Structure 1
Amino acid sequence: MDVVSDAISTVRTGQASSNRVRVSGSWCARLAPYDGAGFHVVLEGSCWLLPDGGSPVPLGAGDAVLLPHGTGHVIADSPADAGTVERAVPFEQWTGGKAPGPLRGAAPGEVELLCGKYRLDHSRVHPLLAELPPVVHLPNRVGVRPELRAAIDLLGRELDGQRPGSCLAVPGLLDLLLVYMVRSWVAEDTTGAWPAVLGDPVTAAALRALHSEPSAPWSNDRLAAEAGVSRATLARRFTALVGRPPMAYLAWWRLTLAATMLRDTPDPLAAIARRVGYGTPYALSHAFSREFGTTPGRYRDGAG
């Protein structure tokens, strides 16, 4: 596994939900804050995203937008005026792919949207995802983000009708969409810490090694050899970019993986301990309690 895949897989729960909506005229709908991540893809036409506490974002055909922290927002035909937010109807009132009716009279043109939510467990979010801004806007540009464009095109085709296998295809494509949106942010952001982390060859090599084999008997010397640098160089660059030393990051990541397994599997604690690099269930339980303030058993009961 790589860092982006692991960061997403540890917080994803259940399947994404999505709705295809076609509207025309003047309209606006509100999506309340959500304990997960929201997204919109404009399949046809154009509209506006009005995030709570943020500036209006124009969206055109082919644009994708991710709200990774579940920020409440309004989607509308235009930024209009201050009353737009007050007039917005709850998104849940949109049924059958249609708006409940024009709000201020008809206007030419239709807009088709794919709107949805990912269920995320924010209790142990990876710092890469925690660093994402409230709104990740990925405009449609020719020759840019070909994987994201392909996923959007495939989703549009799958949602055209009841195609054989669509019940499997659509959830898989929605998962791909999330990966591609996060990947695009990592590749294009010039200010965040984690794009810099993954852009540094030494730190990125060390992270790949830790994420590929979290249960291996890692040491600073072994990890430095894997990254092709001295122990001092690895410690300096890794700590400066990631914010904690390599072995501290590994300890935190092992416990994060253990928490995910406790939440998502019925595996006994001994098996989980082996998979994350602890010699005994007791050793894992002690470290887990110190990190999360509760025992693995109580954590599992609460997660269930």
Structure 2
Amino acid sequence: MDLLSDAIAAVRIGQPTSNRLRAGTSWCYRFAPYDGAGFHVLLRGSGWLVPDGGEPVPLGAGDAVLVPHGSAHTLSATPDAAGAVPFETAVPEPGGRTEFLCGKYRLDHTRRHPVLAGLPEVVHLPADVGRHPGLRAAIDLLGAEVAEPRPGRATALAGLLDLLLVLLIRAWLDGHPDAGWPQALRDREIAAALEELHANPAAPWRIEDLAARVGLSRATLARRFTALTGQPPMAYLTWWRLTTAARLLLDTDLPLPSIAAKAGYGSPFAFSHAFKRQFGVAPGGYRAARTPAVRSSSA
């Protein structure tokens, strides 16, 4: 079980996209709110990221930024967002001294895992020497790949962009070990409990069975799990089962009884009732309403 991979897979609805741009001495680009996550990597030069309603963030060469909730923001040569133009209208300046890579991940926030929901509006990872060597190596590879069209470039970029998302989130988790979910992933017994639930969500779990598997008393497991993740173990299990079912509804053609069984429900009726309570629509309606958009975004 890899909870972070599960969390990302649960919300992915398409391939990431990216654009590389060189800018001159005066530039200011606006990024509208987006149903997904945005990222920026400053390959050379300097600039600022100005969140709507937040403090400007200085950026230097090699810095990486993740905007995990798709909130509106501006990239600018100065800490002032006034006069920003839409990024889509930007005109590259081949001789410009500032170069950055910007992109988006298509994510369905209605199925967002709390480990992703708990990220701040802006995750800024400066290019500190000796810190996050894996992230630094990925940025170097990404910069080299976008600099020159070579055979296999599209496949390489897709893989590197996926890797970048994981490394950005991992770096933030590593930097906040005492926060709720990062701490949960470091707590041996709680991490083991999460592993059990993710590895086999359809099992007929009872809290006493889960506690016995990880070597804790029922009361201790319930207390520590709730304190670190924000919800009791069985409530989390229900949420994860239905989130997994939502992904199966969109990504597969499995009939509802099969999805109900994979989600740990003994009957399609019980599954439909629980699914509608969480998502506000029956499973069949959820699939019918969302599948065309998902397939379009993946094309």
TM (norm. structure 1) is 0.91
* Correspondence for 1:283 among 248, 264, 270: 270
Q: What is the aligned partner in structure 1 of residue 167 from structure 2? A: 180
SS in 2 for 1:85: coil
Q: What is the aligned partner in structure 1 of residue 247 from structure 2? A: 260
- Which residues of 2 match residues 99-118 of structure 1 at below 5 A? 110-118=97-105
What's the CA shift for 1:208? 1.4
* Correspondence for 1:241 among 228, 239, 242: 228
The runs of 4+ residues in structure 1 deviating greater than 6 Å are none
State the one-letter code of the partner of 2:115. Answer: L
The answer to whether 1:89 aligns with 2:85 is: yes
- Which residues of 2 match residues 1-304 of structure 1 at below 5 A? 1-79=1-79, 84-95=80-91, 97-98=92-93, 110-189=97-176, 192-304=179-291
**Alignment check: 8 A CA contact 1:45 1:109 kept:** no
State the one-letter code of the partner of 2:67. Answer: L
* Mapped partners of 1:73, 1:90: distance in 2: 11
What's the CA shift for 1:293? 2.4
Q: What is the aligned partner in structure 2 of residue 102 from structure 1? A: none
SS in 2 for 1:254: helix
What's the CA shift for 1:207? 0.7
Q: What is the aligned partner in structure 1 of residue 295 from structure 2? A: none
* Mapped partners of 1:135, 1:52: distance in 2: 11
SS in 1 for 2:151: coil
Unaligned runs of 5+ residues in structure 1 are 100-107
Q: What is the aligned partner in structure 2 of residue 104 from structure 1? A: none
Deviates more, 1:137-146 or 1:190-199: 190-199
**Alignment check: 8 A CA contact 1:39 1:65 kept:** yes
**Post-superposition CA distance 1:98-118 (Å, at most 9, x none):** 49xxxxxxxx97111010111
What's the CA shift for 1:150? 1.6
SS in 2 for 1:141: coil
**Alignment check: 8 A CA contact 2:22 2:96 kept:** no
* Mapped partners of 2:189, 2:10: distance in 1: 24
**Alignment check: 8 A CA contact 2:180 2:227 kept:** no
Aligned length: 291
- Identity of aligned pairs, percent? 60
SS in 2 for 1:42: strand
Unaligned runs of 5+ residues in structure 2 are 292-299
**Post-superposition CA distance 1:243-297 (Å, at most 9, x none):** 2221111011100110111122222112212222222322211221222222100
Give the root-mean-square deviation of aligned CA atoms: 1.7
State the one-letter code of the partner of 1:214. Answer: P
* Mapped partners of 1:245, 1:29: distance in 2: 43
**Alignment check: 8 A CA contact 2:59 2:126 kept:** yes
**Post-superposition CA distance 1:64-95 (Å, at most 9, x none):** 0011111111111122xxxx423111100124
**Alignment check: 8 A CA contact 1:63 1:140 kept:** yes
TM (norm. structure 2) is 0.92
* Mapped partners of 2:170, 2:12: distance in 1: 16
